[in-house]
């Protein structure tokens, strides 16, 4: 049971501190707007925002809890960080599934096993490579997502990692979720043709600052 249906567009309703939309109420409005537009699920960060979104929509929620240093493992890095988001209403927990060292020497397979056993929800591993995806599936992940591709080394690419989605879909026996820099209908088609089970879109829908900056940067300098 994967919580999200095949062919779902998931809208990531996140706003970091410093973003004028950084509040639970505003993220709940984003979730309602996403639902009205046809989204089939929401991705959200932190117990407070998830609780507000849970009260505003019946859509499934992929919950995360960003903690610690963004240069390392910071998306739901421990079992403990998953407890509050499930209590707040998350139906599925997403967590860092890269091969990087985890906090306090914890192991991915142990974290996933505890989430399954004690919280009773499926787990989606956010990975950055085929190798990490294979390891995360072996560790018990129910779904694998391309979320962290482009963020763990070097320069951040402009578009989604369609090739990683294709490789994960060809190799793994679980749903593959395309996430990260999906911005246009062509991007959505490309990741779906590559084998994505579902597609997560964040900034291109829920971050007006990012949308504005991209359009401003397209204005020719006089
Ligand atoms: C790398 C990282 O921290 N990704 C985060 C994961 O939750 C979010 O900041 C992204 O917005 C989300 O993955 C959706 O991606 P995009 O906003 O590119 O559509």
182 touches 198 (CB < 8 A):
no
pLDDT for the residue 104: 87
Per-residue pLDDT in tens (0 to 9) along the chain, 222 residues: 689 999 999 999 999 999 999 999 999 999 999 999 999 999 999 999 999 999 999 999 999 999 988 899 999 999 999 999 999 999 999 999 999 999 988 999 999 999 999 999 999 999 999 999 999 999 999 999 999 999 999 899 999 999 999 999 999 999 999 999 999 999 999 999 999 999 999 999 999 999 999 999 999 986
List the chain domain ranges: 8-216
pLDDT for the residue 1: 61
Lining ligand 1 with CB less than 6 A are 12, 14, 64, 147-148, 151, 179-182, 200-204
The atom number, within ligand 1, closest to the CA of 183 reads: 19
Give the number of other Cβ atoms within 10 Å of residue 83's Cβ: 17
Compute the half-sphere exposure of residue 148: CA atoms within 13 Å on the CB side of its CA. 26
What is the whole-number distance in angstroms between the Cα of residue 221 and the centre of ligand 1?
30
What is the whole-number distance in angstroms between the Cα of residue 98 and the centre of ligand 1?
15
The atom number, within ligand 1, closest to the CA of 45 reads: 7
- ipTM reported for the complex, 2 dp: 0.99
Which of 17, 94, 147, 182 best tests ligand 1's pocket when mutated (most atoms within 8 Å of CB)?
A: 147
- DSSP, residue by residue, 43-94: EEESHHHHHHHHHH--S-EEEE-B-S-TTSS-BS-SSHHHHHHHHTT-SEEE
Q: What one-character DSSP code corresponds to residue 129?
A: S
Tell me whether strands 123-126 and 143-145 are parallel, antiparallel or unpaired. Answer: parallel
Q: Tell me, which fold does domain 8-216 have in CATH?
A: TIM Barrel (3.20.20)
Q: Specify the pTM.
A: 0.97
The helix/strand/coil state of 123 is strand
């Amino acid at each position: 049971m994967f919580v999200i249906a095949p062919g779902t567009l998931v809208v990531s309703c996140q706003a970091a501190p410093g973003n004028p939309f950084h509040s639970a109420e505003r993220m709940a409005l984003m979730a309602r707007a996403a639902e009205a537009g046809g989204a089939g699920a929401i991705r959200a960060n932190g117990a407070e925002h998830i609780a507000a979104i849970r009260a505003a929509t019946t859509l499934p929620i992929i919950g995360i809890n960003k903690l610690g240093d963004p240069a390392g493992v910071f998306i739901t890095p421990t079992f403990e960080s998953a407890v509050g988001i499930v209590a707040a209403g998350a139906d599925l927990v997403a967590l860092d599934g890269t091969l990087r060292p985890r906090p306090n020497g914890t192991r991915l397979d142990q974290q996933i096993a505890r989430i399954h056993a004690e919280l009773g929800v499926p787990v989606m591993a956010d990975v950055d490579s085929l190798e990490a995806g294979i390891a995360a599936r072996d560790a018990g992940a129910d779904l694998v997502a391309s979320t962290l591709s482009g963020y763990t080394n070097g320069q951040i690419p402009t578009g989604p990692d369609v090739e990683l989605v294709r490789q994960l879909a060809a190799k793994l026996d679980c749903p593959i979720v395309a996430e990260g820099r999906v911005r246009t209908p062509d991007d959505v088609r490309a990741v779906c043709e590559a084998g994505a089970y579902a597609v997560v879109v964040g900034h291109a829908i829920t971050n007006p600052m990012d949308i504005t900056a991209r359009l401003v940067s397209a204005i020719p300098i006089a």
